[in-house]
Amino acid sequence: MRFLVTMNMASKSNNLVHQVICDHPVESIEAFLQELRNEDFVICDLYYRANPNNVTLWTLKGPIILNTSLIGKVMEFIED
């Protein structure tokens, strides 16, 4: 599933929060919650916008390790 993860840390552009679009091999957000509860770190596939002016095109950047203690909130990523 694809998720929007809001991290409690600054972004590289010095914004106070850092949001990550990522895929994780789970069937539901509840299953992702269980992994976040049980693990200090999770590996996800990170995506970036292919073109900053077009939010519908995403480029896979590869795996990223997320520190679960720095995650503020998670929601299923549903593109409009």
The domains of the chain are located at 2-76
Distances (CA, A) of 27 to 2, 34, 71, 73, 76: 10, 12, 20, 18, 11
∠ Cα 78 43 14 (to 5°) = 70
Average pLDDT along the chain, 80 residues, taken 10 residues at a time:
93 83 97 97 92 74 97 91
Q: What is the pLDDT of residue 79?
A: 79
The predicted structure's pLDDT at residue 17: 81
**Taking Cα atoms as reference points, which of 22, 15, 72 lies closest to residue 42?**
22
Identify the DSSP state of 40: S
